[in-house]
Structure formats: C-alpha cells, structure tokens
Amino acid sequence: MKKILLASTALVAFAGAAAANDNITLSGSAEMGVAGSGGDIDREVGYIQSIDVRFAMSAETDGGLAFGGTIDLEDAMDIAASGSDSADVKGYADFTVFISGEFGTVTMGDTDGALDWALQDPAAVGSPGTIADDETAHFGRQDTYLDGDYDGQILRYDYSYGDFGFAVSLEMDGANDAELDAEDRDRYDPLWAVGARWNPELGAGTLKLGIGYQAGDEGGVTFGSDDVNITVPFGQDATVWGLSGAYEMDNGFSIGAVYSDWDSNELKDGYHWAIGGGFSWEAFSISANYGEHSFEAKGGGDVDTSGWGLAMGYDLGGGLSVLAGYGSSDAKAKGFDDDDATSNGDIDWDSYSLGLSMSF
C-alpha cells in the first residue's frame, strides 16, 4: 500500500511538471455505456466504463536527433509499485521508447512487428470504433500475426521516403534460466519480420499497399477478445507472409482487404483473409468488416472460424462521440487432444455495446 501511495504521489508531481514542460504532453480518453453478449457466451447487459491517461515525451539534440517515449498512467503506476522498469516484469511493459533521425526510426517496447506495421487492418478502415471493441474482437479479425509469441517486447527499425516505407523487427525470447529449466527447453531463436508499404495519392484518394513476412522458432496465434478467444499452437518453424490493400477516398468512402498464409512443422495448411469498408458523412460514420481463419494440422486437427463486426459513430464535437457496435463470431474445432490449447467443438457468440467515447 505504501509503495502504491508513493507511486501515486510521484505521478501527481510528474503531471504538474509535465504541464510546464513543452517536451512532455498529456492526453487521455474515457468511455461509458452498456455492453452485453449472447450465444454460447451469454452475458447480461451491464455497465462498461474505462479511462486512460497517456504521457508522451519527446526532445531533440542540437544535431536534429529526435528521441522520446510514451507510457500509460496505469503502467507507470505498476512499474513504480513493482520497483522495476524492466520489460521482464510481465504486465508492466506497455510502453515504447524511440530514437529518430534522417536514418529512420528505432522503436523498442510494446510496438508492432514489421509485418503488422506493413499490413492494413480491414476492421480499422473507416471505423469510428466502439466502447467494447465489438467490431475488432470477433474471430474473423487478425492483427498481431506472430507478435507476442515471446514476451511481446519488440525492437523495430523503419524508414520512410515519400510514399514508400519499409521495416525490420526482432522479438527475443525473454524467459530467464529458471523458466527455461522449468519448461525443459532451450531458448528460442529470435522472432523476426520484414515489411514494406506504399501509400501513393491515386485519383480522388489514397492507395495503401502492404506486404511482409515473419518467422519464429516457436509460434502460434490467438484471436478474439480477452473474454472469448481461440488459440492455435503451430509448433516449431512458424512462418507467415501477408499482403494487404486499402483505398481511402476524399468523399468519405474507404475499403480494405488483407490475406495471410501460415506454415509450421505442425501445420498442413493455414490462412486468413478479411475485408472491410466504411463511410463518413459530416458527423456520422459507419463501418463493417468480415474475415475468416482456417488452420489444418498435420495430425488431423482443424480450426475454422469466421466473424464480422459493425461500428457506428456520431461526433458531437469537442472530443465527445456516441458509439454503437455489434460483433458476431463462429468457430469450429475438431481433432485435438483434450489438453490442447484449442478446444474441440463449436462456439457461436455475439457482442454489442452503446455508449459515449471521450477524447481529451
């Protein structure tokens, strides 16, 4: 309790200093409303609320080298209470640090790997968002690929020139020697990725193209929400390549699609595809997306999922918006052992929410 009190006191002092320092900016968001779900995962309609405060720090050397970082208030308190700023402290690592110059940008921390950085997420194309992430938490969406298979701390280098950009990234196996001994395994080789994107102006809008590749010594994929998710283990030598395209028009229309192909020593076949689009007119916006996963194991197990999401928003001005969302998921899994991370059987569920989103 004493540590938390000291951490809170330090953050109050820090916030006061931030207000007087041009190198430190403070932003925040909050949400309030109702949410529920049905189907196999039945949850009565209840209240939902959240608040997030983020600090962003940046400065520049005399030679023009920019550097800085970002962190959430909650994570800063966790780090202070734990007495450690190490990324090895699980749950306390949702922050990033960067350095940038004419050579490009180097980012370390809870950031996207090069494949995820390069590809468009159809669920985000033209989306106003929802307070319960209904449009992104369904089984048809994929946006992490192999990121997070180790400790989730990623080192990425990216460089942009005009409309073109490329990136490379590494994620290390953060397990310590005691954890390796307990799991009776050797340390995994680094998870690495490369990606490129091209965003030229085309006609009455902007075309966004992306392509990338990712590989790891050991891997798997998890998708869905924190409450309901599917995990598919791939075993060793996991790889994924993907490509995406999106077109955002000046008249408010937007559309995007993505495809990725997965492989490993335990996968016979695996792929994901998704499509999404949106439209905005004055204060109103609406978007929808649909996607599918399919994984076939060499041992005979199959996982097939699909899902779609809908998001609607109305901007009241000043950072306040009314948001409504709906998501629907379907999954079929068979042929796995009972102790496997993927459950056998079918799962059908949907979620919905309505509320206010606030940006400060």
Residue 230 has pLDDT above 90, yes or no: no
- Condensed to tens digits (0 to 9), the pLDDT of residues 321-359 reads 999 999 999 998 876 554 444 456 688 889 999 999 999
Tell me the average pLDDT across 292-297: 94
Is 11 part of any domain?
A: no
Q: What is the pLDDT confidence band of residue 147, given thresholds at 50, 70 and 90?
A: very high
Choice among 71-80, 124-133, 186-195 with the minimum mean pLDDT: 71-80
Is 204 part of any domain?
A: yes
Is 183 part of any domain?
A: yes
- Condensed to tens digits (0 to 9), the pLDDT of residues 20-57 reads 477 999 999 999 999 999 988 778 899 999 999 999 99
Q: What is the pLDDT of residue 90?
A: 45
**Which of 68-82, 128-142, 222-236 has maximum average pLDDT?**
128-142
Is 13 part of any domain?
A: no
pTM above 0.85, yes or no: yes
User: If you ran DSSP here, which 8-state letter would residue 127 be given?
Assistant: -
Is 110 part of any domain?
A: yes
First to last CA, the chain: 30
Q: What is the pLDDT of residue 8?
A: 41
Q: CB atoms < 10 A from the CB of 61, how many?
A: 10
Choice among 66-75, 251-260, 323-332 with the minimum mean pLDDT: 66-75
Is 12 part of any domain?
A: no
Residue ranges making up the domain that contains 176: 2-6+21-359
Cα–Cα distance, 157 to 164 (Å, whole number): 14
- Above pLDDT 70, what percent of the chain? 86
Across all residues in the chain, what is the average pLDDT?
87
Residue whose entry in the numeric block shows the structure tokens 């699980």: 90
Q: What is the pLDDT confidence band of residue 76, given thresholds at 50, 70 and 90?
A: low
Q: What is the pLDDT confidence band of residue 83, given thresholds at 50, 70 and 90?
A: low
- SS3 assignment for 84-107: CCCCCCCCCCCEEEEEEECCEEEE
Burial letters 279-296, b for 16+ CB under 10 A, else e: bbeeeebbbbbbbbbebb
DSSP structure string for 210-231: EEEEEEEEEEEEEEE-SSSEEE
The counts of H helices and E strands in the chain are 4, 17
Q: CB atoms < 10 A from the CB of 81, how many?
A: 17
Is 15 part of any domain?
A: no
Q: What is the pLDDT confidence band of residue 219, given thresholds at 50, 70 and 90?
A: confident
Identify any residues that bridge with 53 across adjacent strands, giving them in sequence order.
28
**Which of 4-18, 35-49, 90-104 has maximum average pLDDT?**
35-49
Tally of domains within the chain: 1
Q: What is the pLDDT confidence band of residue 91, given thresholds at 50, 70 and 90?
A: very low
Residue 11 has pLDDT above 90, yes or no: no
Residue 236 has pLDDT above 80, yes or no: yes
Is 144 part of any domain?
A: yes
- Condensed to tens digits (0 to 9), the pLDDT of residues 154-167 reads 999 999 999 999 99
CATH of the domain at 342: 2.40.160.10
Choice among 20-24, 81-85, 312-316 with the minimum mean pLDDT: 81-85
Tell me the average pLDDT across 194-220: 95
Q: Which residue has the higher pLDDT, 81 or 179?
A: 179
- Condensed to tens digits (0 to 9), the pLDDT of residues 115-127 reads 999 999 999 999 9
Identify any residues that bridge with 285 across adjacent strands, giving them in sequence order.
280, 313
Q: What is the pLDDT of residue 233?
A: 84
